[in-house]
Amino acid sequence: MKEYLEKALKEINLELNEKQLSQFEQYYDLLISWNEKINLTAITDPEEVAKKHFADSLSLIKVLSLNEIESVIDVGTGAGFPGIPLKIAFPHLKITLLDSLNKRIQYLGEVNDNLALSDVVLIHGRAETIARDHDHRERYDLCVSRAVAGLSSLSELCTPFVKVGGVFAPYKSEKAEEELSEAGNALNLLGCEVRKVEKFSLFDQVRCIPVIKKVRNTDDKYPRREGIPGKRPL
Ligand code: SAM
């Protein structure tokens, strides 16, 4: 894993120290062993995991300066992507990992303990409900999310977590511009503006991460109740 990861990280101009590389190795071992018990990922080959999960999660550094960010929430983190790679590479981050599947949260608890991470909060729940909780609403500098929903519904799930002045950075594919134009109304209703759209190719795939700034408080009526943002996007 270590050699594959170092090679993959060259693509995004990132170097990690020995401790961080060994944390990624431990993370990979746990991913593979838990994947036999619960469904975490279809990608298991070490080179592919290094590229498509680890380096892809870290490709956010092409778009944002993580050193200037303190608190992050990863909505629909699944097996911990992109949240855990971001935490390993930028240990100063206070990171909250949210997922609606409890087994994935239990697995992330073991990852957290084994890698001896600090300032990681794990939450089992749906974004629609947790975003209404005073302790999480408009509390984060940054909200990230990868492979969870189309941008219109995802914006309703994610932007209520972001404080005014903070950023929502969804990991999207080459269809990002299309999704952004469809989500224009939703982003406006939620108090957000698109500031830039970074598109780059990474390991023969197109990755696009728009930087969406929260400019006003989100109205209390958002997010709507569980399931509605997905069924009836704004
Ligand atoms: N982000 C990870 C990745 O890129 O590998 C996981 C992606 S997986 C396809 C989507 C995850 O989002 C699942 O683990 C699912 O349980 C979670 N999820 C879907 N809707 C959610 C919601 N409304 N609130 C919280 N988690 C949600």
Give the pLDDT confidence score for residue 152 in this predicted structure: 96
- 13 found inside a domain: no
- 220 found inside a domain: yes
pTM listed for this prediction:
0.98
CA distance 88 to 110: 15
Q: Which residues in the chain come in under a pLDDT of 70?
A: none
Ligand 1 centroid to residue 18 C-alpha, Å: 30
Structural domain containing residue 137: 64-231
Give the pLDDT confidence score for residue 39 in this predicted structure: 95
Residue 215 has what DSSP assignment?
-
Task: Judge if the beta carbon of residue 104 lies within 6 A of ligand 1.
Answer: yes
CA distance 165 to 58: 22
Ligand 1 centroid to residue 50 C-alpha, Å: 20
- 46 found inside a domain: no
Task: Judge if the beta carbon of residue 101 lies within 6 A of ligand 1.
Answer: yes
Ligand 1 centroid to residue 42 C-alpha, Å: 14
Number of domains in the chain: 1
Atom nearest to 125 CA in ligand 1: 25
- 97 found inside a domain: yes
- 26 found inside a domain: no
Question: Ligand 1 test: best mutation among 40, 99, 104, 146, most atoms within 8 Å of CB?
Answer: 99
Residue nearest to atom 5 of ligand 1 (CA): 81
Give the pLDDT confidence score for residue 35 in this predicted structure: 98
Task: Judge if the beta carbon of residue 52 lies within 6 A of ligand 1.
Answer: no
- 74 found inside a domain: yes
Task: Judge if the beta carbon of residue 136 lies within 6 A of ligand 1.
Answer: no
> Residue with structure tokens 């593979």?
32
Give the pLDDT confidence score for residue 4 in this predicted structure: 97
- CATH number of the structural domain spanning residue 182: 3.40.50.150
Task: Judge if the beta carbon of residue 147 lies within 6 A of ligand 1.
Answer: yes
Give the pLDDT confidence score for residue 127 in this predicted structure: 98
Give the pLDDT confidence score for residue 194 in this predicted structure: 97
Give the pLDDT confidence score for residue 88 in this predicted structure: 98
Give the pLDDT confidence score for residue 47 in this predicted structure: 97
- 25 found inside a domain: no
Are 114 and 123 contacting, i.e. CB atoms less than 8 angstroms apart?
Answer: no
- 2 found inside a domain: no
Give the pLDDT confidence score for residue 101 in this predicted structure: 98
CA distance 196 to 177: 11
Give the pLDDT confidence score for residue 232 in this predicted structure: 96
